[in-house]
Amino acid sequence: MPELPEVETIVRGLRPTLPGKTIERLRILHADVLRQPRREFSARLKGRTFESVDRRGKNIVAHLTEGVVLVVNLGMTGRLVWARDETPTTHPAVRFTVNAGPALVYDDVRRFGRLEAMNETEWALRDRDLGPEPLSSTFTAQRLHEDLSRSVSPIRSWLLDQRRVAGVGNIYANEALHLAGIHPQRSCKSMTEGEARKLHRALRRTLSSAVENRGTTLKDYRDASGNPGDNASRLRVYGRGEEPCLRCSTRVCRLVFGNRSAFYCPSCQPFGSGVTA
């Protein structure tokens, strides 16, 4: 957390009001969230005006004047919010004072997120390391099957690799695999074309629905206005270990591999020939 739907929701909340605002002052309260020295970060951003704000994978990508790009990865508990009276920030790390309206604050309880100010060339190199956007037209079922056929990794682990697919994290990987009827430990190479098509549809449906519901708030996530998302009540397996599957009533199982919990229904997602022990 946050994943594609949460970051997309924050970006959509910032897009109407952030462009046109100029950074007049920066206050760095916790420099450990920066990928570069604080002086360099401040010097690149101070006096620059926001031109646009977009999303790439799990990153908020803001383009400013003079070719400056501010990239914000929210880590596990980060959020980028307008510091209004009704939107308290409990763990502010970086405060951007702009020329009009409230300050923009990067708030992060655990401070696993990272901020970096770079130029367009530096960002292009970083962008190239990320996989395709799962909701884009370039992410096809055929491409997914071809990419899967070259890996023996467990499918859940493969989906979490941002070099393979950008923006998918543990919540939506588990949800999409359940919808597609695929066990999370199935080997990628074992996927048939039909299963790849099912997974492709499931990923797009799961992510699109979560975006419509403004993301999943389990604990810390809030949008740019400080409001929680509405998608948590719609999760079918994630975090529901020992509860009945909403499709068949079999108990949902939890297993740990790759240092992450996976949730699945043993009836809807049976083991296949490509399972790793």
Average pLDDT of adjacent 10-residue blocks, the chain of 277 residues: 94 96 97 97 98 98 98 95 78 96 94 97 97 97 97 97 97 98 97 97 98 93 90 96 96 96 97 52
Structure confidence at residue 179 (pLDDT): 98
Structure confidence at residue 4 (pLDDT): 98
Structure confidence at residue 271 (pLDDT): 84
Residue pointed to by tokens 């004072």: 97
Buried b (16+ CB within 10 A) or exposed e, 145-156: bebbeebebbbb
Domain(s) labelled CATH 1.10.8.50 in the chain stretch across 141-264
Catalytic residue among 56, 58, 79, 164: 58
Structure confidence at residue 87 (pLDDT): 63
Structure confidence at residue 275 (pLDDT): 43
Does 58 participate in catalysis according to the annotation?
A: yes
Structure confidence at residue 1 (pLDDT): 73
Residue pointed to by tokens 């990272």: 114
Catalytic residue among 2, 5, 134, 154: 2
Domain(s) labelled CATH 3.20.190.10 in the chain stretch across 4-128
Q: Which of 76, 73, 77 is nearest to 89 (CA)?
A: 77
Does 2 participate in catalysis according to the annotation?
A: yes
In the chain, the amino acid numbered 17 is T
Structure confidence at residue 276 (pLDDT): 41
Structure confidence at residue 196 (pLDDT): 98
Residue 85 burial (CB < 10 Å; 0-12/13-18/19+)? exposed
- CATH classification (class only), 141-264: mainly alpha
Structure confidence at residue 86 (pLDDT): 63
- Specify the CATH number for 4-128; select among 3.55.50.30, 3.20.190.10, 2.170.130.10, 1.20.1050.140: 3.20.190.10
Read off the tokens for 39: 């002086």
- Cis amide leading into 266 (omega within 30): no
Catalytic residue among 12, 46, 197, 260: 260
